[in-house]
Amino acid sequence: MASAAGASFTVLFSVSVTWTLIGILGKAAGGKVASSDVLALIMFATINYLPTILILTSFISVLMVVTRTYRDSEMVVWFASGLSLTRWLWPVLTFGIPMVLLTGALSLVAAPWAKEKSSEYVERFAKREDLQKVSPGQFRESSSANRIFFVEGVAGDTSVVHNVFVNTVDNQGTAVIVASEGVISTGTKGERYLVLKNGRRYQGVPGQSDFQTMEFESYSMRVTSQAQDLDDGRDTDTVPTLALFADTTNSGRAELLSRIASPLTCLLLVLLAVPLGFVNPRAGSSANLIIALLIFFSYNNLVKLMEGTVQNGKIPFALAWWPLHLITALVVLAMFAWRLNLNHPYHPLAVLAAMKRKRNGAAQQAVSP
């Protein structure tokens, strides 16, 4: 099981990291996040995906091992030796309990911390000054959406820029400013200015009578500066789990339901994989893996559905967090009962086999002289 889990986790983790990398690089290219924060944001996003990856890894690992024992006729020897399918529970739980605990730790502790840090990185970048967001060789729009900056080079301290291009649109029309150097300075009241040196300013449309051009040694313009303090209000998905227990809002209850569901889902799916892994060794390939994926995604969607009903206030938290898991536990018990009582005369398969033998016997009597 550990070997199968290692292979499954490697594949799932690689896919999630690649998908996350594509999304974050797209945001960095679009100027929504800082290029220097890409690696940190990838790490935080990966931590958020780890609970789901571990749940699917545990489920698939146990299912693959049980299916292989059936396909290789090892379960025939197992049952012929007088051993029951329930004897699989101890080794499966020995493998599954650490996975459940790790999933719970990630869902209850690590994932909220990662989401909080990711939000801080994004929010801090959004509140940086306009020129601090500028990357050499890229056009950037100002926070007020009336200016476009372009710089050819940035000094090491990011306060001095070289070969600056600024396009401004205001009530007087369009103005274009080019300068060899720009420096960010602070006024007496804390306001921030971009001081351009040795450049030209073009106002209006070339060829018209109101077109103006001027040369300057120093030209100052106000740079949008936002407060650097992060907002005190946080989303519920970034609130620590202990604080969520004291949160009586619908969104807080829904987030708590989602976090509690992860370890419970992992435990129940690991147990479900034991009876679900049955396959007829003479039937060749099986569709167990496809069925397992459908069960996994259906279970996750149902958890999200319950989370949505709690968030909308349709069902209270006390009545929403346990019914789905209880039904799944009953399904697990029913599956074990199905596999343990194959020789029972009232088992559905035994009843079908008896009906088939009865029809064959009637057909043989009809054709016999």
Question: For 10-43, what is each residue's pLDDT tens digit?
Answer: 999 999 999 999 988 888 877 677 777 889 999 9
Cβ(291)–Cβ(231) below 8 Å: no
Supply the DSSP symbol for 214: E
Q: What is the pLDDT of residue 77?
A: 87
Q: What is the pLDDT of residue 353?
A: 59
CA-based radius of gyration for the chain: 32
Q: What is the pLDDT of residue 338?
A: 82
With bands split at pLDDT 50, 70 and 90, how would you rate the model's confidence at 76? confident
Mean pLDDT taken over the chain? 81
Supply the DSSP symbol for 161: E
Q: What is the pLDDT of residue 230?
A: 44
Q: How far apart are CA 305 and CA 132, in angstroms?
A: 42
Cβ(295)–Cβ(279) below 8 Å: no
Q: What is the pLDDT of residue 346?
A: 47
Q: What is the pLDDT of residue 133?
A: 55
Mean predicted confidence (pLDDT) in 124-133: 59
Q: How far apart are CA 45 and CA 367, in angstroms?
A: 71
Supply the DSSP symbol for 318: G
Between 298 and 217, the more confident residue is: 298
Q: What is the pLDDT of residue 145?
A: 60
Question: For 163-207, what is each residue's pLDDT tens digit?
Answer: 888 888 877 778 888 888 877 776 666 666 778 888 888 887 777
Mean predicted confidence (pLDDT) in 82-92: 88
If you search the block for the tokens 């007088």, which residue do you land on?
A: 82
pLDDT at 221 over 70: yes
pLDDT at 278 over 80: yes
**Residue 19 identity (one-letter amino acid):** W
Residue 169: count other Cβ atoms within 10 Å of its Cβ: 12
Query: Strand order of the sheet with strand 139-141?
Result: 139-141, 147-154, 160-170, 173-186, 192-203, 212-222
Residue 240: count other Cβ atoms within 10 Å of its Cβ: 13
45 φ/ψ angles, rounded to the nearest 5 degrees: -65, -35
Q: What is the pLDDT of residue 234?
A: 58
Q: Collapse the DSSP code of 183 into the 3-class scheme (helix H, G, I; strand E, B; otherwise coil) and give the result.
A: strand
For residue 147, give every residue at least 6 positions away whose Cβ sits within 8 Å of its Cβ, in sequence order, or none. 130, 141, 166, 167, 168, 169
Q: What is the pLDDT of residue 227?
A: 47
Q: What is the pLDDT of residue 283?
A: 64
pTM beyond cutoff 0.75: no
